A and B are shown apart, each in its own frame.
Chain A
Amino acid sequence: MQDLRRAADGAAPGSAWRDENPSSHGGPDRRPVGGLGGSEEPGPIAVVPPQLAEDLGHYRRVALLGGIYSNHLALEEALKIAAARGVDAVLALGDFGGFGPRPDRTLELLRGAGVAAIQGNYEQSLSGGADDCGCGYTDPRDNHYAQISYDYTRAHTAPDHTRWMATLPGHIRFTIAGRRVLLCHGSPRKVNEFLWSSTTPAPFIRRLLHEHDADVIACTHTGIHWQRFIEDGRGVVNVGALGRPANDGATHVWFTILEASGPGLRAEHVPVPYDHPRLAGEMRAEGLPAEFVETVLTGWWTTCLEILPARERGLGLH
């Protein structure tokens, strides 16, 4: 994993620049930069406020991990695939906990592998001491299950990991093939905004790219991967989720490789088979809801459904 730990070409620890992030609950006033290796060496320390975009310089090929939701088994498999694919870096787009069992296993794996990460709503809520996940659901049943997830995760996350979450930036920027890539959790303007394929049209993408000085916006939060390029090398890529299947009746999960391709770049959604019966067993042992276990075993979502647009809802079983 040494390759994954290497900072990108020309990445200067102090080169973060200000980026609008209207949703900023929680987090301390200062954060160290350069600790991408996580728990090992502290690395060179520069101090900048949290919630800013961190500029990681240039890459040729990166692995982008969406919501992990405590699925440490899938994370392990994804890291292997990414290494085999020769990526320059692995970057995680937030929501490391929630849904699955034993959140510390995922966090240890993530930090040990030197994955560069941004905050999702989970990291904002946990590090800010919030009482709920800030997922952005509107339906009472969805919120009921979201609260079970959050309370479990909060009770089982070590304080050291929570402190680490507070040090993470809200956004990360880098370039691939000269294209400016902006990583965010939900959308560049809001950590818990849902960017679904069927409700993120081309004219809106054009505006987002313009307003946020980016060629490619990569996001997660919805749990379903998709991409829409409005012209060569300009578009939105939802990297999907590593923690939960994509509500398509298949048990594997997904991450995304973004790489230079010819003169431009391409995004490839990569399926990750993993030992899902084992995960289901761990979830049962932890007393997590049977509805969550069912999703792991069947590939169909059973909760958090009301937020789905008509198109995406119609493709699921429930």
Chain B
Amino acid sequence: MNGLLTIAGRTLRSRLILGTGGFDNHEVLAEALAASGAELCTVALRRLDPGARGSILDVLTDTGVEVLPNTAGCFTARDAVITAQLAREAFQTDWIKLEVIGDDRTLLPDAVELVAAAEQLVDDGFVVLPYTTDDPVLARRLEDVGCAAVMPLGSPIGSGMGIRNPYNISIMAERAGVPVVLDAGVGTASDAALAIELGCDAVLCASAISRAENPVAMASAIRMAVEAGALARAAGRIPRRHYAQASTPEEGIPVFDAPGAS
């Protein structure tokens, strides 16, 4: 694993993608973006609010971060496809973080609608990055229809529950022919490091940073965790063992015999 992440031919130096949801205001977002080192961040589309002060796009232009629009809030392939097409118009990018939600309590993806939407969007020329479950078979289906990456959840969006099935995430990372981006569930820095150690190519993180007590400090922490995870993975971890393996040589251990000692 080198220092660069390549998705659909685009090279990114940072393996951290920032989700912009949940920040209290644009000022904190701008500071967190800078602290995160992210070169790509998500944005969403909603009915235009004539009373809104300032655009998030001004913040992003000032910080030089590029946008990855999402289809958040879509429950059907039809709505997700229309939303993606609107995002392409609004942001002048073919890249789309595809979300098709199947349940409003868990916000888990709807696998059937997701694959259908992904296929239509790929055919329409989009670079599709789908938010998906931690199912290696579904990841393969998404790859087969032409997605540029797969973005499995570690646990539900905003739950901060970390990676509940590290085994599946590592299988996905091992088998995928496209980058794997851990996309939900990160609660703190160690979760992000684990994602990369398990083989993910990048981490997308919103709530863990935006809703932290100190979002800017957490952005730095998660940036370092992602870098640490990449270094650790490249360095090669030791195998897990059931029993201890002494690190000090056993050869030359002295024997403290004394005459008369029992």
Query: Do A and B make up one complex?
Result: no
- Report B's interface with A, CB cutoff 8 A: none
